[in-house]
Amino acid sequence: MNKILLLLVILLAAFVSPAAAARLDTSFSFSTIETDHFSIHFHQGLEEIAQRAAVLAEDAHGKLTAQFDWKPREKTQLVLIDNTDFTNGFATPLPYNTVFIQVVPPSIDSTLGEYDDWLKEIIFHEYAHIVTSDTARGYSRITRSIFGKPIIPGDIISLAIFIFTAPPNVFMPHWWHEGMATWSETEFTGVGRGRSATYEMILRSAVAANSLPSIDKVNGEVPYWPNGHLPYIFGLRLSKFIADKYGKETLGKLSLAQAGRVPYAIGTPPEEFCNGKDYAELYRDMLDDLKKEEQSRIATLEKAPFTPLKVLSTVGENLTNPRFSPDGGRLAFNVNDPHGHSKTVITSRDGATIQAEFRRQFSDQGLSWSPDGNRLYFAQAEVVRGFDIYQDLYAYDLRRDRVQRLTSGLRIKDPEISPDGKYFALAVNDRGSQNLALLDARETLDGRNNLKPRLVTAYRQERVATPRWAPDSRTIAYAVTDNRGKTSLRLYDVKSGQDRPLLTVSYNAAYPSWSRDGRIIYYVSDETGVYNLFAYDLKEEKSYQVSHLLGGAMQPDAAPDDDTLVFSSYTARGFNIASLTLDRNSWTLQRGPSITPYWQDAGPAAAERSLPGDNPAIGKPAPYSPWETLYPRFWLPRIYSEDQDHNAFGAFTAGQDVLGYNSYLAELTYGTGHHKVYYNLAYRNDYLYPSFLLQSYAQPVFYSDLLQRGDYYEQNRSLILETSVPLNFLESSYRLFFGYHLQDQSALSRLQNDRFNGLPVFQGRRDNIFAGIEFADNLKYPYSISHEEGRTISFTYRNYSRQRGSDLDGEEYLAAYTEYLHLPSQPLRHHVLTYSLNGGVATGERTVQQAFQLGGEPGNLVQFPLRGYPARFETGKYVATGTVEYRAPLWYLLRGFGTKPFFFDRLHGAVFTDVGEVWDDQRSFKLDRLKVGAGVEGRFDMTLGYWLKITPAVGYAHGFNQGGEDRIYFTIYANL
């Protein structure tokens, strides 16, 4: 064991680096600039973006606080960070107003992909969350003055208090939050999702297919398309409907009125301001209005015949980026399916026969064939340096059926190999900017993964996307989007270095693709209000419309014989792969029927967009200091049992600086029975990697029905020093940890001759060193009823020694292993077989309190569950349990009750067999004493309060051996 400990120490020491934080990239060094209403934190390389964000944020403050009639009483902490290749933002008012923004420009194919100024749009969106969530009125203003703005606590009593002390608007449904924010981003910027052709496409197709969701579906989290986008799409549409019909000021009135009501009582505010109608009635009115609007647009589009399409593949929900092989005989495309893992498939040209497939991690979805057709190149993401999510270049070898990573930490997207195989053209992310770059293909494929791309453009805070090589390998066509509402298709000449615009437009143009003779560039544009296919003739210098569609087209690719164009085609169920016959006689210079999004006005004028108002006072950058956000911002009462007859009363608080370098918890209570002061103080330091935890506490500890002699209470005083190293990947994680635990135990329950109901309980020191490792790569999908594949493994070791101050000597080993096996997709889709093994070994001196306890149901404070037997019915120094469980979906309900805070998701069941045994030195292990239990459980996934996902379960179990019995029980799972 000493050798194992030494090995763990060496492994942990190897990861220590004297830099920033275990939550953030250790190379980041943060600075702060102050404005009147924001503290803006940013790391090196983001100075220019931070200055621009300061101006935009103050502009957002002025406009949004006027719109929603609420001015936050504190500065908002705005964090700008470049630790991912994927755009995102996050906002919370708890315990202080905070906004995080990933500064990479949004990708073309995301719902954020249409913008005039991407930084302005995301700042308005996220700050709208702050202004509408932070609001306090009436009773909530009083509770805030007393308790502050608390975070979610860990016990049920404090949770109930939290619900009535946190800002009431925090508890509103997803569609309310995202509707207000997405309305704001559209109202106050030039585009926004309300004016996007993408949202218009989704709404139009839903009306055409009669598949508009009821409000309970938007309340919940349905697994099918457009799944997580529903609250944004239909929340926006509802907010827009209310603003148009009852006045824009009504949105502010609704936010302010709700801020004075108890959580979940959401009916009265809209009735007061919207002619007596609640949100459910307003939503139905909105759908009626939406149907009329979209049916009018559909009628406009139907004035011309739609382009005939041939659907090649519908297997999956979102099929994207189709690419013909160089010989034209095969087709590769991506399949994103809520029933399973994302993958790339290679099919026959007509899509009918799948020839190969491989799994894809989160990525930009691009694909590129090697010139010989034996490889597919693509980018996908992985965790880099332990913290950042960056994309690198990968290759799939069709002959070997193997994926190989070719680069590390390059931050690339849309890689495209030249037809002569010499270079990859790609876009490179760096500090909020994207640029076109070239990477030597031959040296990369020879294994020189330390190569760096050569940038050939120098755009600042603009988006570069989808470079495509001309057939002669001399010219690259690509798309670039600026922050002034303009998009360009451009041509870069590799030999001369000349870069020139092909066309520059005020709408969207994307996904250039060359004809075989290099004369035509096909592309996608929403020039007509619908994403259609277009062709630019380089010789004539004219653009032709190729398709007229009801839904929309993305990511075209021309067949090598130039007779077919394949693309990703939108329907109300997502994207499928379709093709059309290329007939130049059907192309038109005159554009087909055009429509506009339902958001009729064009947004602020360009001059107003570029000049957000009076320039705010912006302070000079200063080194980041945690103190401004570290002090306590709230407190909540704390009540719990001191022993079976008395309670402890007190309070707790917690805090963290905005970057997460320092975290703490402080709790102080008084026990009325024993007149003792209890406390819990914890501090986590993330300035270094690994993380360090220091915790000291004196707390009552509850042993439920200790060895079936009754409930036993003791006081545990401890000091813990722990070091931990997380090793994270996108689909797996490790955690190594070790530390020292000083512990003193003393009885709170009444003893007679140092015995509790005849048991010789331990009192004294149990100091120990500990070390362990945890691993998980278990995965689940939107339609899953539990994790479907992968495993979890953990191992912990503790050593107690009198030489280190303990009152006893001993060692303890704990191990757990669970495996998930998904069964064949047909006919057993989402059926899961899972098995687990758990065990413990204790050597040396052992106390009654720490004896391994066997028996009872999972989730009911039992150490080693064994269904079909009473809780903790046997104890010992050695324990082993195993479970085999078959899980099956029974019914996908996917419905709620209007806007009520309940969503009933899915019903599923399990058949299980548990085995286990516990023994000690006097009672050795014997196979014929092995305890066996079996039974069934019914489980019900549901969402409470719009946000809390739980799985209540009712079970029946029978124990087949001595001590077994028939048991009907209830338990709650949080993450099966």
Model confidence pLDDT, tens digit, residues 839-888:
999 998 878 777 788 898 987 667 899 999 988 888 889 999 999 999 99
Please say if the pLDDT value at position 24 is more than 90.
Answer: no
- C-alpha to C-alpha distance for 388 and 409, rounded to whole angstroms: 9
| Structure-token pair, residue 699 | 């707390």
Model confidence pLDDT, tens digit, residues 182-201:
999 999 998 999 999 999 99
Please say if the pLDDT value at position 179 is more than 80.
Answer: yes
**What average pLDDT does the structure give for the chain?**
91
pLDDT of residue 1: 40
Contacts of 850 (CB under 8 A, 6+ apart): 762, 766, 812, 842
- C-alpha to C-alpha distance for 192 and 171, rounded to whole angstroms: 25
SS3 percent helix, strand, coil of the chain, rounded to 5, is 20, 40, 40
pLDDT of residue 642: 86
Model confidence pLDDT, tens digit, residues 791-803:
999 999 999 999 9
State percent of the chain over pLDDT 70. 96
Beta-bridged to residue 454, according to DSSP, are 438
Model confidence pLDDT, tens digit, residues 378-421:
999 999 888 899 999 999 999 999 999 999 989 999 999 999 99
State percent of the chain over pLDDT 90. 77
Q: Which residue has the higher pLDDT, 506 or 850?
A: 506
Residues 698-704: contacts with CB under 8 Å, at least 24 apart: 700/640, 700/641, 700/642, 700/643, 700/648, 700/671, 700/748, 701/745, 702/641, 703/849, 704/861, 704/871, 704/872
Q: Return the amino acid letter for 593.
A: P
Q: How confident is the model at residue 643 (pLDDT cuts 50, 70, 90)?
A: confident
Q: Structure pTM?
A: 0.94
pLDDT of residue 58: 97
pLDDT of residue 8: 38
Contacts of 281 (CB under 8 A, 6+ apart): none
Calculate the CA dihedral of residues 966, 970, 973, 976 and round it to 10 degrees: 40
Model confidence pLDDT, tens digit, residues 721-753:
999 998 899 999 999 999 999 999 998 888 888
Q: How confident is the model at residue 456 (pLDDT cuts 50, 70, 90)?
A: very high
- C-alpha to C-alpha distance for 396 and 357, rounded to whole angstroms: 9
Q: Which domains does the chain have, with CATH numbers?
A: 27-301+604-623 (1.10.390), 310-586 (2.120.10.30)
